[in-house]
Structures are given as structure tokens and as C-alpha cells.
Chain A
Amino acid sequence: MSSADIALRLPRDATLHSALAAALAGAFLLSLAVGPAQLGLMEVAAALFGGGPEPAQLIVREIRLPRALLGLMIGATLGLSGAGLQGLFRNPLAEPGLIGASSMAALGGVVAMYFGLYTAFPLALPALAMLGALVAVTLLLLLAGRDASTLTIILAGVAISSLGAALISLAINLSNNLFAVTEIVFWLMGSLADRSMDHVWLTLPFMAAGGLLIASCGRALDALTLGDDTARSLGVRLTRTRIMMIVGTALAVGAGVAVSGAIGFVGLVVPHLLRPLVGHEPRRLLPASALGGAILLLLADAGVRVLPTTAELRLGVVTALIGVPFFLFLIFKTRREAA
């Protein structure tokens, strides 16, 4: 029996990755170019590499560059962890925000702010945020079990999110410091404004480690397409995979939330849009979603700076305004497919 006549196509994502990388470069430049100070593209480029007038250099390198870098990093980790969680739960509605990871990470951040821990010890905020995300994803796995239906995941996510929100409200309620309350509330809305390179260096290692953990689960996520038993029969160590995904998501999402506050729906929208372009394969979806998440967040963050509003819109507010209708559309679509 000859099988040479069957030309097996190996999927190539080079074109897709190049297109996404080009779009990402564009979004990154846009993010550097947009702001209250009117600077041309050439001025921005010159300032970035230490040329041109002093104020322009200061604006580009101290204000806009960290903002763009954080947008890229946080967007990429949100897209990656969304795609990873969807593969793990075999469910297109899993997302760091919807499953409560962001909310619990925010709770960790609020605890650090409430007790003023982060002024004494800067790592306290990301550390507690990551701990919060870790608790959330572990809780979800315990609540929803292995082969969770969409409904179970969403319900468990609602419960975990509500827990986070309730405890945050409690902290705000008990606070008698109006300044602290304002700080917490604005931080919760999610923003990349006024961040520094310190934020970049503080969170980069955690996001990189988390991203690497999620990315190395790609094979296992592919195998999980066929169910738990079959994945194990294909050599996947399930417990190890789950732990790697939990820790990876906690590191990536927790570190992101610590810097930007809760930014939802990027991890839901991006994998869904890109899935058809990678043949619906969980492993191939991971790098594409990381690139896509970075693009979306950079564009959204450029958007809030361009929109002529009296106060600058918060990034988390904008992603939620885009994301919620999309989420409703997804529910509608899932329901129609199930019918």
C-alpha cells in the first residue's frame, strides 16, 4: 500500500505571523505618535533614538515608550492566556476576565493598595495580584471540574468574579481615606496612562515566565481537543499541564493587572477572531493570539488618547464597551450552533 500519493499539507503560519507582526509594528508606532503633545512621526523616531529637542525626547522615552511597551506586553499576555484557557477548558468563552482571574487579581492589587503595602515594597502589588489570579484559576478548576460545560464555566466564573468584586467593595466601604478610594477606583478601571519604565522592568519577568509556561502547553492543548482520556493516551500528563496553565495564567494576568488594572475581553475577542485563520488548532492559536492581543490593546490605548472626551477614557472601560457586545454575540452564536 503506497501512501506517497497523499500529499499531506503542513500548516504554515508564516504569512499570518508576518501580517500580524507588521500590524503590531504599526500599532506600536501609532501608540508612540499619539498624545497631547503634537509630535510628527519623524520627531518621534528621532526622539526615540536620542535625537531632537530635549522635551520631545522626554515625552517619547519617559512617557510614551513605557506606555506602548506595557500595552504590547499586557495585550500579548491577555491574548495568549485567553487562547490557552480556551484550549484547556475546550470552551470558546473562557477568558481571564470572565473566569474571575482578573477580578481576583484586582482584589490582590486592592489589598496591596488598601494596606499601603506597595509604598513600602513595590513588588507587593504584582505579587498579591498574581496570588489573586492563582486563587481564581485554581478555584475555577475545582468548581468547574475537568470537562466543564460552557454554563458551568460561566457560572463558576461569575461566582469567582463576584467574590472578588464583593471583597473589593468591602475594602472601599471600610476605607475612610477618600484619596485611597479614588486611587483604587481609578486603578480598577484599567489604564496604561502615566506608567514608567520601572513598571516594564518590574512585570516583564513574570509575564515572560507566565507566557512561556502557557506556550509550552501547546502540544497538550492540541491533544486535549480529543478529550482527557485520549490526551493522556497520547502521552499528555494532565495534572502537570493544568498546573502549568494555572501558574502561567496567574503570572501573566496577575502581573498585567498589577500594572494596568483590570482590562477585560481582549482574551475573549482576539482568539475568537483568529481561530479560523489557524485551522481551529489550539497550539497554533497561541502565538497568533499573543500578537493579536498586543495589536488590539495598543490600538484601543491609542484610541482613548485620540477620542475628544473631557477626561481621558479608561482603557478597561473601552475594552469592556467593545467586548460586552462581542460576548453577547458569542453567546447567541453558541446557542444557535447548539440548537
Chain B
Amino acid sequence: MTAMRLTGIHVVREGRPILSEVGLALGPGEVLGIVGPNGAGKSTLLRVMAGLLAAESGAVELDGRDIRHWSRGDLARRIAYLPQHPECHWAMAVERVVALGRLPHIAPWRQPSAKDRQAIGAAMKAADVAHLAGRRAGSLSGGEHARVMLARTLASEPDLLLVDEPVADLDPYHSIDVMDHLSALAGAGRAVVVVLHDLTLAARYCDRLALLSDGRIVAEGPAEPTLSPENLAAVYRVAALRGSHEGKPYLLPWTRLPGTRLPGTRLPDGTGAP
């Protein structure tokens, strides 16, 4: 069974291709990691999957039906999306911010049901923000804010969770905690797509990785082959220390390779994949 399938996605912005020929399939119970250097098109890909950005060509299907044929409300009940720099404009109480994640499930002019409140409580617990419930958004540290926003995303209990760099602002304890939780969600039959810069966490936690470079998927599959030394050299221009612990691979980006490009610049040969 496939939860989401992307075929031949092209996105062009200001005449520049952002995504080209992107195809992906994702099943329930799976954690798919999207990795790649700055400007590779990771966040754009996630927005396309969330139905927030229409591709110039290609199709996104959810449960076999084109995403354009889903209503916003139905989509919102199935997919939760966490952007890279989530914002909160008003100084609302943390538990009320998290409760916004339940909006798709609450009929207009209604109060949250017992089930909604339980989901909100569980989400706050999962993201370790229950103790912040009464605090105001805006008075939080960067890491606390990131976890509150993650809790907001979890509160809708989505079948498909799309999260853009959820651990970028977190300390090691909370990074591992969040990744453990995303794994547990997949273990409970949900699908998770996570954009990650941290290759160590990506290799350890994702069932499958898609390596993006200049808008193309240049490698896809389990961590070991996808983040092979050749691929790391070609796409990231780095070499990593490697090993395994308790049956899980780890890698630690260690040195730049000669001819290092500046972040955001393009490889002369386009894809750079072996």
C-alpha cells in the first residue's frame, strides 16, 4: 500500500528549475529522510508534498487520488506540515498554540471534544512541552519554540507527517527524543517525511533516504548506499567517519574535500551523482 506517490515533479521559479524529474513513493510505517546540501530543493519538495505548492508538471497522489482533487479540509485531516522556521505571531499560551493543530478536526463554532483535548495533551507530552502549557509563545527559547511547534503538528494525529528540519534548533537530548518519537509514529503505522541536515541522525533513524542535489534525486534507498563515500563526495564535497553501533550505521562528516563549493552554488556538471 502506498500513502503518497510523486511522479515527474518539475518546479520552476524565476526561470530556474528548483525540482526536476522528482519521483518518490512512500508507504505507511515508513520514515523517509530527505537530505541534500543547501539549496538542493528539500523544502520545496516538502511543500509540494503538502499540497502548498503546485508543481509545473507531474503529479502528487495521496491514497491514489491526485492531491489537487482533495479539499483543503480533507487534506488537513490527513497531512500535517511543519515548516522550517515555524512562526507564531501572537503571544498565545503554549497549550492554545498546540491546540491549533486540532483545527481540521473541530467543526466551525465548536469547542474541542474530549478526544481533541486528549490528542493535544498527548502531543504536548510527546514533544516534551507539557510543563510549558501556560507559557506565552514568544517567551520561549529557540528549542522550546521548536518543540511547541512540533507538538502543534503532532496534535492533528496525521497519517502523513511532513517535517522540515525539526531538530535544527534542538540540543542533543531533544534531537534524539524527537527522532525517537518520529520513529515511534512510523512504528504505529503512520508515514513520516523528514528533511534533515544532520546526516548522523538521518543515517540512524530513517528507513530510507532520498538524496537531493540541484533539484534532482541522485540517490535513494537505505542509508549506507545512499550516503556512500562517493555520493557524499559528489553532492556534499565532504568525507565522513563511518562505523556502526548496535546494528545501526553512523557517519560523521569530518573533512572538506578539495574543490569545495560555496553553499548554494551549483555543481558544474549538474547532478554530480556517480
Q: Is B256 engaged at the interface, CB distance under 8 Å to the other chain? A: no
Closest to B104 in A: A235
Q: Are B120 and A8 in contact, CB atoms less than 8 angstroms apart?
A: yes
Q: What separation, in Å, do the CA atoms of A232 and B67 have in the docked complex?
A: 14
**Interface footprint category on B:** 35 or more
Tell me which of A4, A219, A226 has the highest count of chain B C-beta atoms within 10 A of its own C-beta.
A226
Q: A1 touches which one: B87, B97, B99, B122 (CB < 8 A)?
A: B122
Q: Are B79 and A3 in contact, CB atoms less than 8 angstroms apart?
A: no
Q: What separation, in Å, do the CA atoms of A224 and B92 have in the docked complex?
A: 13
Q: Are B89 and A225 in contact, CB atoms less than 8 angstroms apart?
A: yes
* Per-residue contact bits, chain A 15-26, to B (CB 8 Å; 1 contact, 0 not): 000000000000
Count of A-B residue pairs with CB < 8 Å: 100
Contacts of A232 in B (CB 8 A): 52, 72
Q: Is B152 engaged at the interface, CB distance under 8 Å to the other chain? A: yes
Q: Are B112 and A10 in contact, CB atoms less than 8 angstroms apart?
A: yes
Q: Are B75 and A235 in contact, CB atoms less than 8 angstroms apart?
A: yes
Give the shortest distance, in Å, between A34 (CB) and chain B (any CB): 37
Q: A235 touches which one: B76, B93, B99, B122 (CB < 8 A)?
A: B76
Give the shortest distance, in Å, between A269 (CB) and chain B (any CB): 18
Q: Are B86 and A230 in contact, CB atoms less than 8 angstroms apart?
A: yes
Q: Are A282 and B83 in contact, CB atoms less than 8 angstroms apart?
A: no
Q: Are A233 and B50 in contact, CB atoms less than 8 angstroms apart?
A: yes
Q: Are B96 and A3 in contact, CB atoms less than 8 angstroms apart?
A: no
Q: What separation, in Å, do the CA atoms of A227 and B73 have in the docked complex?
A: 17
Contacts of A234 in B (CB 8 A): 76, 100-101, 103-104, 156
* Per-residue contact bits, chain A 208-237, to B (CB 8 Å; 1 contact, 0 not): 000000001001001111110110111111
Q: Is A62 engaged at the interface, CB distance under 8 Å to the other chain? A: no
Contacts of B80 in A (CB 8 A): 233
Give the residues from 277 to 314 in chain A that come closer than 8 angstroms, CB to CB, to chain B: 279-282
Contact status of A3 and B72, CB under 8 A, knowing A234-B100, A234-B101: no
Q: A282 touches which one: B51, B90, B117, B124 (CB < 8 A)?
A: B90
Q: What separation, in Å, do the CA atoms of A232 and B81 have in the docked complex?
A: 10
Contacts of B47 in A (CB 8 A): 229
Contacts of A199 in B (CB 8 A): none
Q: Are B81 and A280 in contact, CB atoms less than 8 angstroms apart?
A: no
Contacts of B122 in A (CB 8 A): 1, 3
Q: Is A90 engaged at the interface, CB distance under 8 Å to the other chain? A: yes
Q: Are A226 and B152 in contact, CB atoms less than 8 angstroms apart?
A: yes
| CB-CB nearest 10 A-B residue pairs | A235-B76, A6-B121, A3-B121, A233-B81, A3-B122, A90-B89, A280-B90, A235-B73, A235-B104, A8-B117
What are 14 inter-chain pairs, A to B, with CB distance below 8 A? A6-B125, A223-B103, A225-B88, A225-B89, A225-B90, A225-B100, A226-B152, A233-B76, A233-B81, A234-B76, A234-B104, A235-B73, A235-B75, A279-B93
Starting from the known contacts A224-B89, A233-B80, A234-B104, 13 additional A-B residue pairs (CB-CB under 8 Å) come to A4-B121, A8-B120, A9-B95, A219-B103, A222-B103, A226-B86, A226-B87, A226-B152, A229-B83, A233-B76, A235-B76, A235-B103, A237-B72
